[in-house]
Each structure stands twice: as structure tokens, then as C-alpha cells.
Structure 1
């Protein structure tokens, strides 16, 4: 039906998945082994699947093993080198048995594209097909097609083997136990930590090299079918089959859909980086390509970004595009590419079409925007109400959904508008040290709040102490939702906006003894609606005046004067300062800031009052 173009009917007629245990599908004499039945097609007897090894029966794949052994000298991850030479393991502990699954709906919908991908697997030697039954037992996982046309800007599809199928709780065996998927049975705690490089780390590295004064150029490449170059452990091939029109296809290479392959291929990329470093001309683009080819991989020519200008990239060596981010040495910045901005904005607008959305869809968007916030830091504050909404899920008839309240929708609208506006200029390649105390325009504001009395903040400037303080109103004391963290944040905010202008501060060290308040100031991640409004207002105020802030932690004992002032003992602060020969000036906080309620009811922002 799918071949005839009727994907809808094909989905309805899709046969149910079938599970056959070892006890009910194998003779006791044969049950201990996983059988390779492919020799039967040549009139030869079947035999147990042979474990591949570098010294005996090597795994499939294009990896040049002699080069790998040479490159691995001094490389720390010996385990992945062994698997590269002997065959990549799937690390699964799922129950042995036969699982037969038809393709997913995506493969039925894009049936012709799926057939092309399956044919390509065999043409490129990545898989063998047409088998009536290549192994027993056999796991024929479902597969699907992912349409990547929108991201690629041209027709493009990716085939994925769903090794997370069946999901936990979907199927039971004859003994009443749930059947685990390949991915679901993996003990991932055994894997070494393999942190992928972040975009901002590449930007920092570029800035460091550039600051040395030596010539610096950016380059990049993208391997052609990187996963497919590496062969599987032959003894585990029975777990990597799919059902096709012409029988079973046995995939002998690493593939998309395997959790183990995704992690281990990333670890293999570390070996590539190690090989580049041990090459004599380590900083040359040609050396990187040579290392790739040396290990049996290929660079995709259309994706190469050499460190010199080309017809397609006139700014080659000056800028680099990676992960949807542009790194620019000339402008000294990192920013989202326009296509990435458009893609993210479109996804956000789709979420905003209804008042509720599917939780998984929202989490995917939030993850993308978290990444985008690396280039647009002030956008982090807009995500806080959306994350809160995502945690307050409720159930409706069509699954788990999230209600998007006004504040969450406002945050998403702000993201969409900013991404669509073309005003995104990015961030510097790397942050610099905050200027030290004593430099012109640099000062410190110490703030504190007490739960039941008041707040205070002070700073020193040219031998004079500037002090601002106040009491909590009856309404504030009666408000049980006004937490101490919010009071501490308000104290720091009032100290900043009151004291920084009159002391001509451009760089402010804000000291607080409350970690939640510090996090809200430093990371723009407030934990409540009231704190969210404060953060938004103080950030807008600083942007308008070109003031930068570094939030720092201070112990209560070291924050003596702010603590005294918050406990309505400002006169004692004045006495101690004068005893030290310092002049003291008491300053009133701006009434439009002190009088703001910071609750969820709409009211003018202090920055607009």
C-alpha cells in the first residue's frame, strides 16, 4: 500500500509487532547460540555468529586499522580503540529472542525515499539485503524517515533505525515480563564521560589565539557518512536487522538510532582530534583532512571551510559556520546564523498558535532556545516563565500538554520577535576579566535584607560612604509569598539603581549573602514571578545606562554594615564609618522603584515610569 502511495492505509494495515522467546522458537540443542543463516543461500551449513576481532575475523567497515593503531599511541580512551579495531559493541543486555517489526509511519509516508536509502545502504556496502532469514534469533527493529529538508534548504531525508523500540511497557513476553529495547537495556553508567565541545568554547579558543598576535584563521570540515565507516561487532549483527519488501536487511555498520553508536562515534572523533595533534603540521587544514583520510574517513567537499577565501566563502579564514552559529574573527563575535534564527522563530510561532501545546514539543523548543541564549544571554530571563509552565503540566484527552499562561507566552513572543527582527548582533568571542577595584568607574555595592525589618545597601567612593536603606511596609510584611530571596534581590536592585549613578559606576560588583538572589543576578534565572520582574527591570535599566554587573557571594559576617542597616541600625553604620574618618551620605531610593509591588498584577515598569 505504501509503494502505491497510500501511506494512510499502509499505517492502518501495519501488522502488530511479534515477539518470539528463545524457548518457543528454538530447539534446546541450538538455543545457546546466535545463528548465522546466510551460508544456507550458498548451500553451506549455518553456523553460530563469529565474534569479530582484529587478529581473526575483522569487523566490516572502512577504518584503516594499521593507521588507527598508530594514531592511538598516547591516546587515553583505549577502550574505544579496541572496539574500533574489533567491532563497535551495542552494549545491550536485552533478553535474547526474535522481534519482528514493520516500518514506522514516517517510512511509509516517505516510502520512495526510504527505498532509496535502503538501496544506498547495500550499494555502499554498509548493509546486506534480500535475505529470507539471515540470522536466528533476529531483531528486526522498525525504521523511519526524518525529513530534514527545512534545515538543509534542499530535499534531504535521513533513515533512522528505532533501537528504542519497543518502549518500556508496550510488549510482554510469555512469562509476563516487559520486553526491553536495545537502547533501553544499556547500562550507560559504564560509559566514560564524553563532553562535547560547546560553541562558546570554540569562540573562546579563537579569541585566545587571536589575542596572541599571531596569524589566526578558522577552518572546518564535515565527514561524509562518519558513522557508516565503522563496523559493528559481528557477533551482535542479529540485533541490527530491518524488514524490507525483499526480505531482511542486515546493517553491519554504526547507524542513527543506536544510543551506543551515537556515544561511541563521538569518542572516535576524539581519536581524530588526537591524530590531528600528533601530525607535524597540526594547525594546517590539509593536515586535518590528511588525518581524516588516514583513518579511513572522508571529508564532504561541499561542507569544507578552509582557512582561505573561496568562491563560495569569500570570508574564509575570517568566519566559520558551525551548529548554526557564526564565529567571526574580524568582528570578534559569535552569533546565530539568519537561517537558525528563522528556524527557531518559526518553531516558536508554531507553539504559540494555541493556548496549550504538547509538553515534548515545548521541551524541544526550550532546549533550542537554551542553546540560542549562548548568543543572546538576555533571552534566558524570557525562558524562566516558560520552564515553570512546562513543569505545571496537566492531562487532556490527547496526551500530556502544557498550558501557556500569559507570562510564558510573553517570553516566547519576545524570543520570536528578537529572532525575526534582524537586530541580533551576537556576543564577543570570549568574556574578559571584570575590571579590578580601583580602576575608574569600578565599584562595589554591598546589600542585605532582613525578613521582618528592612533592607540596606552601601558603597564607598572617594573617601565617602553612600548608604541607602528602608523598612518593609505593612503590606510587604503581611505578604507571605514575599520570600527572603526576593527581598535580598530587591535590596541589591535598590542598591544598584540608587548608588551606581551618583558614584559614576560603570562596572559594579554586587555582593549578596543569598545564593538565589546571586543566581538571579548572575545567570538571569529567577525562581519566582516577582524575582522575574525585578530581573527584567534591572537588566533593562543597566542596558539603558551601559552599566555592567558582576554578582558575587559574601558571607553574612563579612557583610556587617549592610546587615546592620537592614536591621534598622543605620545610625550604627554611620557611627562606625565616621569613627574610621569616612564621610557618610544617606541617599533615598527612587520612589518609583521602592514603590513597585513586583507582583503579577500589571503596572508600569520602573524603567518606564
Structure 2
């Protein structure tokens, strides 16, 4: 039968107990007993200034509001406590502010006696922790997430960011929703904890939805103050290997090699970032000043530099449990289909790991896929759910949902996509049947609209340009053809300027135009799933070409080779005495381009080319599609014209010289040795000539070199 194993495991770590409780604080009923007399006055004055700033924004007086924004107030540790209150940890001022008792202390949250404010189910994590090596993550989920910040006790009171004042209605709405959901404390007229880190909040929009983000990298340029994010030991945190769309679709392509129907599904965790509770001892670093006063945040915050790492470790635990459950279901309900069984037997014979489905997660986007064979009971009859035969992908989909719901997460109906052939995944559209990844149509429409503005502009706002450039980077991961056009855009973005507007060069405007045209016909530009038949590869649309040029020693030549369907196509020749005067970097760039042109002549339907070269300048020039060297720019222009006419997409790749052996031997006149090794590999050799496009480029290169 097929070998089964547990899913990949994170690095091991030890269970971490919460900190011990602080020593008992003497009974104090007044703020003046714990805080030096002049300090509360400073804080109240700052809070009044922030309140005025917010009130002006609420009245629609934005300019006055921005002008009234006070500078951040920072009160250092030495001015925080009276001698009677010093050394007793973080003070809880809420009982005094609510007039219900003396000043209290923040003690560490510890389940089950004093659990954190959290939606996570501690019993789930403890029950499934067996065999899971990252026990530190389990302890965080149970007792509360520490922030790992080494910031000394400090009071910081910051006004909302200008973006929050501009979108004051959204700021108030988000703040009120957090309080209603129980993510924050009620607002207080003074700091609810002492010390208190009241970060500046900004408002960001994503898909027309407002979201709060905390500036935990500020305030800056305050003497003797190190911001929260700069106090984090980021280098000591475990490295998280993030799943990409290529990871999951590659595995789905391997499932498809079984010859049986394959589907994918997904579900988005709702407010996943805000489900895990903070360790109570660290709540003082989770404050903010709102339109109604000071509040404490009980959950993770956008802007915390280590929050993504902590949350991903917790989600990884849920993912591990879901994968375990899917493997158990596969063992309980093995496939009975002869096509699937033959595939399982084949992969088992090759000692390849075999499973019929899998689950992945990129942050809070949980998705999966697999072979969609019917689930049969032990007697061979189909398992029915409400009279409908149950299929494997739906079984794994429901099992994964049960696991994460048991952990304490929620999946809104609008964020669930049951097993399907067409999936909106991580911003792209995945066509499972065709094994294609394309840019999502909704994104295309938005990006084209922005590109139309950009290609007509002589200047662009830097924030707009930065956003658009990174959107194009995302598109270039799917539409490889866009990649060379990005360099002029980023050159404008990085150009030094004191202005908030960046000048747009003619080359950048031309790049915007080409990107817009390509996105308008993006249905014809896709990325393959990266598998064919039983073994991972890049399918029938890809060509992998190795090229090299020799420019030193007694033999100066060039060569390239590539393999298609058991035939090794080769080319070699020497440079003439005149051509040998062309700089070696230009010859390297030429032969790499000529190889792609020759391959297209033979295989016009292969649209994707990986150009391997051991010459770093060649890789850079082909990648950036720009050069100050006249000869290299000549090659760049010829490449752009060729790719526009042919519809090909080329991605240059750097390879070590020792791994570019055959191309190196061909460039040095040692074709006999290459033919011997080609024959030893069981390949049939076929010699090529340069196509007309390459010959014209070679002649133009020589003429340009002689005229210098």
C-alpha cells in the first residue's frame, strides 16, 4: 500500500510557563499615591490636546485638526512611579478610574485560573499537542501571546495618524467595532494601565474596507526612547516558510497526474489576527487613544513586527491537526478506483510520498486540493450525505473546517469556497482543469485603470507609484512577460527627490503602456501549474536553454543547447577576428538571445523560456531590459521587439559555471566531448543554425562595435 507519514513538523521548542506574579502592592486608592504629582497633569494635558484634535476632525475641520495634532508625549521610567509604588510591576488603574476599589496589578494570564481574553480554545491545543514539537506555541495559545518586547516601562501618548483624521468616520467605526467585539477594554479618561503605550493609529483601506494599523515603529527621534518594534528580538524568532500559490498548485498538478478528477477549495478565517489573546503582563504595550479616551487592546495588532510570526505558528498548529485528520480519513476511507490505485502503486514503487489530498495555509487563507474520488464504506457502497455521494475533496474540506472551528476560529459563509475547478486563491484565479494560474479579472480591471493614469503622467505621487509598482511585481509572478518592464518603473521610484511626487521617465511611461496592453489580454498569459504526468516539471509550454560564450584563451566561440522530447538541440561556432573585438559581456548577452530565437523557430508554441547563463551582467541586463552600454542596449531593444512579435516570455537565470558545462564546452570548441556525453544520456543530438533574426542582430552588433 501507499506509505503514510505525519505532515511536516516545525522546529522543536519547550513549553513556556507564564511569568510569576509580582510582589503585592500596598493598598492605594489615589493616583497621587502611585504616580508623582506632576506626571498625571502632563498626561491629562496631552489627552486633552488629542481629544481636541479628534473633535476638530469629527466636525469636518481637517486642516485645523492636523494643525492641532500634538507631538507624542513620552514619560520615561524614572518619572512614572513614586517610591511607594516602584518595583511592583504594571499597575492596573481601572479600579480607581471606575471608583470601585484600590489600584491593582497586572498579573500574568494563566489558564485555567486567570485565562487571557482570547477566542482560542485551550482544550483543543492541549488535546492535540501530542507529537507536536513546538510546545512553546501551544503554551502561547493557552496562556496568552507574549510580545517579546524588551521596552522598559514607559508612558507614550500619541495622537491618531493623519490618515485616521482624514478618515475619521472609519477610525471611529473600527474603534467602536473592536470594543463591541470584546477586543478592547472600555475607554477611560486616563491611562488604564501604568505604564501605558498609546500608539498612533492609522486607517488603511483594502477592497473598500477600512482597517486600523498601529504605528509600533514610533514615535521616532525621542531622546532615550526606543520604539516597540525596534525592541523586538526578531532575529531569534523561528523562521516561517510561507506557502505560495506555486507550492499548492504544484502539488495539485501532481494529484492531477493520477488521471482522476482533481479539485481545489478554500476558506478564509474571519478576523484571524484578532482571535489569539495577549499575555496580560504585556497589555500595557497594547494601548491607544480614541475619540472616547484610552483603551487597552487584548488581541494582536496590525503593525506589531512579531505578530505575524506568532500568529502563523498558531495557525500552523491548526494546519498540522487538519493534515493529521485528512491522513487518518485517507487511511479509514482508501481509494477503490483502479486509476487512482495504479497511480498510488506507481508512486509507491518510486519511493515517493503518496497522499490523495492536502491542506495549506498562507496566513489566514486556508486552502486545499486533491483527488476527488468517491468515498466508499467498508462494504464498497458509497457514503451518502443527505442522499448525495460524498467525494474526497468535500470530506477534507469539511474536516479542515471542523478542526479550525474547534480551535476557536470562524469561517463566514461568504468566505467559503467548496471544492471547485475555478478558485479565487491568494489574489489569482486558479483554473484547475487547465492547470493555469491567471491574474484575477477584478485585479486586472483595477490595475489597468491605474496604468492608464500612469502612462499619461509626467509626475506621480510616490505612494501611488510605489503601490502600482508592487502590484505589477505581483502580476509579473504570473505573467512572466511583465518582468523586464519593471526596471524603468522602479528606477523612477528610487530616484532621489525631496518632493512627494516622482518624475516619470519616457521609458517608464512606455513600460506602463506595455503592462496595460499585456494585462488587457491577460487571458492569453498564464502560468502553468508546474507539473506534467507523474513527475514535477513545467509542462509542454516551457523551454530551458543553456548558453555561453568564450572570450579568453586561444579559442573564442559560443554555444547553446536545450532538450525537447529526448532530442538535444545544439549550436556552436567561433567568433571571427572582427567579432572577437566585441566585449565578452555583449557576446554572452547575444548568444543567450540567439538561443531563444532559435528555439522559437523550432517550437513556436513553447511560450516560456528559462535562459540559463553563467554571466551576471547578462542576467542583469536581460532582467532589467536596460543598459548604459550601447551594445547591450542594442541587444535589449532586439529582445523586446522579438518578444512582442512572438508572444514569448523569457526569464533569465544565473547558473554557476560548473553547472553550465555543456554550453561552456561548446563555446570552447569541445563539441566532441559534449556529443559523447549526450549519447551517454540516451539523447539524440541535432545541430542547429542561427535563425535570420539572430544573424541580423549579430551583424548589427558587429557594426556597432566597429563604429565605436
Answer whether TM exceeds 0.5 for this pair.
Answer: yes
Q: CA separation of 1:58/1:503 partners in 2, compared to 1, >3 Å: closer, same or farther?
A: closer
Counterpart residue number, 1:312: none
Counterpart residue number, 1:34: 90
1:380-419 residue pairs with structure 2 within 5 A? 380-391=483-494, 393-396=495-498, 398-399=499-500, 402-419=502-519
Q: CA separation of 1:63/1:506 partners in 2, compared to 1, >3 Å: closer, same or farther?
A: closer
Q: CA separation of 1:499/1:93 partners in 2, compared to 1, >3 Å: closer, same or farther?
A: closer
**Shift in Å, 1:258:** 1.9
| In the alignment, structure 1 residue 19 sits paired with structure 2 residue 61 | no
Counterpart residue number, 1:594: 698
Q: CA separation of 1:4/1:265 partners in 2, compared to 1, >3 Å: closer, same or farther?
A: same
What is the rounded CA distance, in whole Å, between the counterparts of 1:112 and 1:507 in structure 2?
Answer: 50
User: Which moves more between the two structures, 583-592 or 15-24?
Assistant: 583-592
What is the rounded CA distance, in whole Å, between the counterparts of 1:519 and 1:395 in structure 2?
Answer: 29
**Shift in Å, 1:83:** 1.1
- Please give the secondary structure, in 2, of the residue aligned with 1:213: coil
| In the alignment, structure 1 residue 2 sits paired with structure 2 residue 57 | yes
- Please give the secondary structure, in 2, of the residue aligned with 1:99: strand
| In the alignment, structure 1 residue 490 sits paired with structure 2 residue 590 | yes
- Please give the secondary structure, in 2, of the residue aligned with 1:30: coil
Q: CA separation of 1:301/1:547 partners in 2, compared to 1, >3 Å: closer, same or farther?
A: closer
Do the aligned partners of 1:508 and 1:549 also contact (CA within 8 Å) in 2? no
Give CA deviations for 1:501-553 in whole Å, capped at 9, x if unaligned.
589997999997624277469x9566746364454355457647x99999976
Give CA deviations for 1:143-186 in whole Å, capped at 9, x if unaligned.
122233xx25xxx21122222221x43x22xxxx3x22212321
- Please give the secondary structure, in 2, of the residue aligned with 1:257: coil
Counterpart residue number, 1:290: 402
**Shift in Å, 1:445:** 7.0
- Please give the secondary structure, in 2, of the residue aligned with 1:62: coil
- Please give the secondary structure, in 2, of the residue aligned with 1:298: coil
Do the aligned partners of 1:138 and 1:241 also contact (CA within 8 Å) in 2? yes
Counterpart residue number, 2:110: 53
Do the aligned partners of 1:455 and 1:491 also contact (CA within 8 Å) in 2? no
Counterpart residue number, 1:81: 138
1:226-245 residue pairs with structure 2 within 5 A? 226-245=272-291
Counterpart residue number, 2:575: 470
**Shift in Å, 1:187:** 1.8
Give CA deviations for 1:479-516 in whole Å, capped at 9, x if unaligned.
xxx5x333212123335545875899979999976242
**Shift in Å, 1:583:** 13
What is the rounded CA distance, in whole Å, between the counterparts of 1:228 and 1:214 in structure 2?
Answer: 40
Do the aligned partners of 1:84 and 1:230 also contact (CA within 8 Å) in 2? yes
What is the rounded CA distance, in whole Å, between the counterparts of 1:184 and 1:80 in structure 2?
Answer: 23
Give the gaps of 5 or more residues in structure 1.
Answer: 308-316, 566-571, 601-609
Do the aligned partners of 2:561 and 2:568 also contact (CA within 8 Å) in 1? no
Choose the corresponding residue for 1:333, options 436, 440, 452: 436
Q: How many residues align?
A: 558
Q: CA separation of 1:407/1:27 partners in 2, compared to 1, >3 Å: closer, same or farther?
A: same
- Please give the secondary structure, in 1, of the residue aligned with 2:131: coil
**Shift in Å, 1:64:** 0.9
**Shift in Å, 1:25:** 3.2
Counterpart residue number, 1:161: 214
**Shift in Å, 1:334:** 1.1
**Shift in Å, 1:214:** 3.9
Choose the corresponding residue for 2:205, options 147, 162, 168: 147
What is the rounded CA distance, in whole Å, between the counterparts of 2:253 and 2:120 in structure 1?
Answer: 35
Q: CA separation of 1:537/1:470 partners in 2, compared to 1, >3 Å: closer, same or farther?
A: farther
**Shift in Å, 1:471:** 2.9
User: Which moves more between the two structures, 341-350 or 157-166?
Assistant: 341-350
- Please give the secondary structure, in 2, of the residue aligned with 1:490: helix
1:385-534 residue pairs with structure 2 within 5 A? 385-391=488-494, 393-396=495-498, 398-399=499-500, 402-421=502-521, 423-432=523-532, 447-450=548-551, 455-457=557-559, 467-471=572-576, 473=578, 477=581, 482=583, 484-495=584-595, 497=597, 501=601, 514-516=614-616, 519=619, 524=623, 528=627, 530=633, 532-533=636-637
